Structure 1
Amino acid sequence: MPRHRTRHRLVLATAAVLATGLALAACSPAGSGASSSGAHPAYRLTAQTPAPSGDIDSFTWVSYAEPYSLDYAYAFDYSDNQVLSNVCESMLRLNPDYTISAGLAESYSNPTPTTWVYEMRPGVTFHDGTPMTAADAVASMRRHLDPAVGSSWFSVYQNVASIDQTGPMEVTVTLTKPDSQFNLGISGAAGVVESAATLAAKGKNYGNSTGLVNCTGPFELTSWKSGESVTLTRYDKYWDTKLKAKAGKVTILFMTDPNARVNALTSGQVDGGWMVPTEAIQKLNSTSAGKLYFGLNTAVGSLIVGNLKGALGDLNVRKALLMAMDRQGIVDAAVKGYGSVTSALTTESVWGEASDATRKAAFSGLDSYTYDVAAAKKLVEKAGATGKTITIRTAPMGADFSVVAQATAAAAESIGLKAKIQTMTPDSYTTLFSDPTARQGVDLFYTSWYLSTPDPLEMYGVLRTGQFSNYGNWSDPQFDALVDQAVAIADPKARAEKSVELQKIANQQLPWLPLFQGPMTVFVGKKITGVAPSVAFLYYPWAATLGAR
């Protein structure tokens, strides 16, 4: 059967993002629905760490998990993409400030509403020394359309009719209808270009620890020791001189135990790591082993409503549950106050192409679901849901998972519902996002859902009727019609105006329950510097910019 993975975003340090003023000091606000009081930690968002003094022979990094796959068709999570982003490159490039620029396609055009034309960059070679051609791009992109592959990125290609080579270095993509999201989507793993010869030669072993990959990035994947580490080696013939790797070698170690990761960072065993455990932020802020940075993120910690046939099928019950949750208390306990309560499923960071007025409208006037247990209990009674049971799935993957599960169960019990928590293994938890049968009887499960493009429509496209990641099968004809209209709009400012309407419908209907957002974190050891602390590390070659302090 084809494999399908989805944006489960399992790990966690902090869930999401602040907004656009990267260099400003910011204290996490109490946010709507706050009932807790007291000071919250102050932190400063950093766009770029100090420039390195020069090259370095090597450095080590730590990841919370081993990649599921380095086949770009399946690289759909933090552990996969933080490696792949340094080795493979896409047609377009997602930058740390969440803008998009030319990548392996040196230019592109949209000559008709249903046609995208890409001129591939000459002089680029794969890590085996062979030249990249338009034929490689066509073969790489067509894999996402192949049911036998079962690409996790098929949604980017859902409106693609054909992908053809139309010139020596030209690729033309023809759509079945106008789709503004396609060109944005290929700035991530969906747009990776791999050697067609390598894809054919490796077959089912492509992207695993045996077959590895053969791409065009600043580093070559030279080894993958299963269960232990991957090693990246600088590719000296890399085409982009501005991003030529400053380190000769990078070793990324896999450590699933959060305490082990923190100890490795503070002892100097490793030189850095993304998404540090939030319970260790104070310790990492005070160690002499390096420095902790906070940066741009696009994720929101939310509860996905996976069953609309049970008690949560009634909107009043969904509203009541959110009103009964002390979300500021959750922020304080789950991420140690390094975040803020939100009532939206997007962060301001993905509204960068909207006008100031549109961005303001997107976040103003939203229902805040203020913490009010008495009022929430009345809504449950009105719905006739008193005494009904909701089932919450969780897994031992971080403080936020356990805190959110326990807080949700307590909130449900406080308003007359019954709650049952079912704990799964981390590997089993991933099936909630990929296998509909795994969600049977599951009312709620937690996610930290990040967006891969600078467009809020990416989030709301997920909730359209019939979409694979619309896990609860929520359906609203008005919402669907607005998504279809927005997808067809080429102008990002006009498209964002439609997304304002979509954000307000989602806020009113609560197909997912938004909880909180917070910054991306990265710890950089004392011998290296130069990284941009941004969630774009999932698609941007972050390791190439790190050099000697």
Structure 2
Amino acid sequence: MLVSAGALAVTTGCGGGGTSGSVTPADLVVSTPPAAGEIDKVSWALPMGEPATVDPVKAGDYSPNTVVSNLCEPLMRLTPDFSVEPGLAESVTRPDPTTLVFTIRPGVKFWNGNPLTAADVVHSLRRNLDPGNRPAHADVFKHVADIVQSGPMQVTVTFTRPDEQFLDSMAGSVSAVSEKSFVERAGDGYGTPSVGVMCTGPFRFGRWVPGERIVVTRNDEYWGTKAKAKEFDFVFFTDDSTLTTALVAGQIDGTYEAPIGSLDTLRGSPGGKLYFGPSTQSLSIGPATTTGPAADPRVREALDLAIDKTSLIGNVLHGAGAPLKTFTPPLSWAGDPAKPVFDAGYAALPDTSKPDLARAQALIREAAPAAEPLTLAIPSGDQTGLQTATIVQAAAKQIGLTLDIRQMQPTEFSELFYDPAKRQTVDLVIAQGYIEVPGVYYYSPGFVLPGGVFNWTGWRDAEVERLMTEGQQAADPQVAAEKFVAAQKVFAPARLQISLAQLHERLYMSNTITGAPASFAYIGSAWAAAVGKA
């Protein structure tokens, strides 16, 4: 998921620069100490603001997913180490390369007491096929031929071609199950403040106070391990200074995506602890045009080589990140059987964490771009984005490029990600992205294949298309990995995204609570169920 306004805009606010708090790989943790017992209430921040919906089919950003993952359960579960285990699907089989059969877990009930059925699962999955539902993850289903109930507690998905990524993609809100009859009665109101949702998770939808908070309460009839907290209040924040003050004062018990500009303050808070965990989040610059200098891979490579990413990570991200060679972060394959193949392929990519001005200037001389300013779009009010853009602007100047920074209102900025016409006036866009499920074939096709949702330059390569297609169809993990690595060797030099940094997960909790996973896996797991008394 490439995120527009909001995700980056909230990494702003308090605190000064400097690298005093740099985070090393040894500092990263997957989990926090387990809870010692139950707790009556936890107040948790949503630092990206109020979600537009809690309908899992439409949940495609930080705020909705942080809430929905605790309410509506997927067929497969994402664990803190970013591996996948059975969820509402008790088991899954693959009788042939184009068929998956899910056996649905028996004895599971919706909050209203009605049993979970295969019909509910079919209905929930099929909602992703209807453009009228505005599904956030429609691309996951692009090779699906049909979804049918094939037994009392069995669902069969057939494909037009093999798709080995699909099963891992089920470990997120894309396969979250809602009660069919409730959804049908609610219509367009499903997931709204006045209607809510009807699911099976460890917390049940309580109430939504627009502009203020969403309250969820413990599902005491939950089929799995009961949640530690009786109530979770998700409080909306859009200002980092306000959030930081609330955290330090103990008015808010915790947050994911703690404000980057406030890390020094939170590190020094006596009332809580700041954790850093592995993540699939990244900060990048994306080319937004099919014409002009930004559409030339040589210009993009030159700009990439001119930026001092080590300095950016230290001074802008306060050390809460690491160099990233391409737009697919290593955590996405951490649990893959072919991890050594992926690791070797990633290691072979050039290290661009330090600038190479001589090479960058040579590329600019070779490309001879038109002497016209390039426009880099960022959301207004985003100080971290502005700091990043200023560094990029200075780097561009060193290699003879003029870069103008255009600050756009958040709504206008977000339209760049969905409306090609809006991108006609900009050359580059700064963005934060993340991968919510494991697998290298989940995110990358959107950048490297023709028609990809993030392939804004119209880039294409026949060899990459062949390798990516063969890799996604390969049942053998080793073959799938080898195909991807071979494709990556071709598309990485094109800088279809200029990767600036991998962002660590930033979790803050008060001393009164513990148990939350510290990795980015929270985005697709019922993480709040583990939070309890410290």
- TM-score of the pair, normalised by structure 2: 0.94
Please point out which of 51, 56, 68 is paired with 2:34: 51
**Residue number in structure 1 paired with 2:438:** 454
Report if aligned partners of 1:60, 1:270 keep a CA contact under 8 Å in 2: yes
Any conservation in 2 of the 1:362–1:500 contact (CA below 8 Å)?
A: yes
Q: Structure 2 residue aligned with 1:368, among 339, 346, 351?
A: 351
Deviates more, 1:287-296 or 1:348-357: 348-357
> 1:277 Cα deviation (Å)?
1.1
Instruction: Return the letter of the residue paired with 1:265.
Output: L
More off after superposition, 409-418 vs 75-84: 409-418
Q: Which residues of 2 match residues 329-340 of structure 1 at below 5 A? A: 329-340=311-322
Out of 84, 94, 98, the position equivalent to 1:110 is 94
What is the rounded CA distance, in whole Å, between the counterparts of 1:146 and 1:434 in structure 2? Answer: 18
Match of 1:128 among 112, 115, 133: 112
Letter in structure 2 aligned against 1:520 = E
Q: What are the superposed Cα offsets for residues 96-135 of structure 1, whole Å, 9 maximum, x if unpaired?
A: 1111111111111111111110111111111121111000
How far apart are residue 298 of structure 1 and its match? 0.8
Code of the residue aligned with 1:276 in structure 2: it is: A
Counterpart residue number, 1:267: 249
Report the counterpart of residue 62 of structure 1 in structure 2.
45
TM-aligned CA deviation for residue 469 of structure 1:
2.8
**Residue in 1 that maps onto 2:260:** 278
Whole-angstrom CA distance in 1 between matches of 2:185 and 2:399:
59
Sort the Cα spacing of 1:545 and 1:267 in 2 relative to 1 into closer, same or farther, 3 A: same
* Alignment equivalent of 1:442, drawn from 426, 432, 443: 426
Contact 1:11–1:397 (Cα < 8 Å) also in 2: no
Q: Which amino acid aligns with 1:373?
A: L
Contact kept in structure 2, 1:143 and 1:151, CA below 8 Å: yes
Counterpart pick for 2:307 among 310, 322, 325: 325
Corresponding residue number in structure 1 for 2:14: none
Q: Deviations over 1:422-444 (max 9, x none)?
A: 11122322222222222123211
Structure 1 residue 165: deviation in Å? 0.6
Query: Is the 1:386–1:416 Cα contact (8 Å) retained in structure 2?
Result: no
Q: Which digits, 9 at most, give the CA deviation of each residue in 1:17-38, with x for residues without a partner?
A: xxxxxxxxxxxxxxxxxxx999
Distance of 2:100 and 2:421 partners within structure 1 = 37
Return the offset for 1:9. Answer: 7.8
The alignment of Structure 1 onto Structure 2 pairs a total of residues equal to 523
Partner residue of 2:174?
190
Q: Does 1:349 align with 2:331?
A: yes
How far did 1:378 drift?
3.1
- SS of residue matched to 1:508: helix
Question: Which among 372, 375, 378 is matched to residue 388 of structure 1?
Answer: 372
Cα pair distance change 1:322/1:6, threshold 3 Å: closer
Query: What's the secondary structure of 1:263's corresponding residue?
Result: helix
- Stretches of structure 1 that go unaligned for 5 or more consecutive residues are 16-35
Q: 1:230 aligns with which of 214, 228, 231?
A: 214
Could you tell me how far apart the structure 2 residues matched to 1:312 and 1:398 are?
23
CA shift for structure 1 position 357: 3.4
1: CA distance, partners of 2:350 / 2:59: 35
C-alpha distance after superposition, 1:312-346 (max 9, x if no partner): 22222111111121222221222012222222222
Secondary structure (helix, strand or coil) at the match of 1:458 reads: coil
Amino acid paired to 1:452: E
CA–CA distance in structure 2, aligned partners of residues 212 and 227 of structure 1: 15
SS at match of 1:87: coil
Amino acid at match of 2:426: V
Letter aligned with residue 524 of structure 2? Y
Deviation at 1:256, TM superposition (A): 0.4
1:170 aligned to 2:170?
Answer: no
Which one of 298, 301, 315 corresponds to residue 280 of structure 2? 298
Q: Quick one: which of 248, 257, 264 aligns to 2:230?
A: 248
Q: Secondary structure at the match of 2:487?
A: helix
Runs of at least 4 residues of structure 1 off by over 6 A? Answer: 36-39
CA deviations on 1:362-396 (whole Å, 9 max, x unpaired) are 22221334513343233222212152221110014
- Per the TM alignment, residue 502 of structure 1 is displaced from its structure 2 partner at its CA by 2.6
CA spacing shift, 1:111–1:8, aligned 2, 3 Å: farther
Residue 307 of structure 1 aligns to a residue whose secondary structure is: coil
Q: What does 1:419-438 align with in structure 2 at a 5 Å threshold?
A: 419-438=403-422
- Alignment CA distance shift 1:6-1:518 (3 Å): closer
- Secondary structure in 1 aligned to 2:400? coil
Deviation at 1:6, TM superposition (A): 6.0
Residue of structure 1 aligned with 2:483, choices 498, 506, 515: 498
**One-letter amino acid matched to 2:423:** R
Partner of 2:512: 527
Aligned equivalents of 2:20, 2:189: Cα separation in 1: 54
Q: Distance in 1 between matches of 2:271 and 2:381?
A: 26
User: How many Å separate the matches in 2 of 1:41 and 1:136?
Assistant: 44
In structure 1, give the amino acid aligned to 2:322. Answer: S
DSSP 3-state at the match of 1:500 = helix
Displacement of 1:456:
1.7
Contact 1:367–1:507 (Cα < 8 Å) also in 2: no
Paired residue for 1:29? none
- Structure 2: tracts of 5 or more residues without a match: 12-17
**Contact 2:515–2:531 under 8 Å retained in 1:** yes
How many angstroms does 1:449 deviate by? 1.4
Q: Does 1:514 align with 2:510?
A: no
Report how far residue 191 of structure 1 moved: 0.5
Q: Per-residue deviation at 1:505? A: 2.1
Task: Give the conservation status (yes or no) of the 8 Å contact 2:71–2:201.
Answer: yes
Q: TM-score, normalised by structure 1?
A: 0.91
Deviations 1:409-460 (A, max 9, x none): 2222222222221111223222222222221232111222111222122232
Counterpart CA distance in 1 for 2:330 and 2:398 is 33
Letter paired with 2:86: A
Code of the aligned partner of 2:532: G
Contact 1:333–1:403 (Cα < 8 Å) also in 2: no
Contact 1:460/1:502 (CA < 8 Å) preserved in 2?
no
Distance across 1 between alignment mates of 2:351 and 2:102: 44
The percentage of aligned residue pairs carrying the same residue is 34
Deviation at 1:494, TM superposition (A): 2.5
Secondary structure, aligned partner of 1:52: coil
2:425 alignment partner, SS class: coil
Residues 334 and 399 in structure 1, CA contact (< 8 A), matched pair in contact too = no
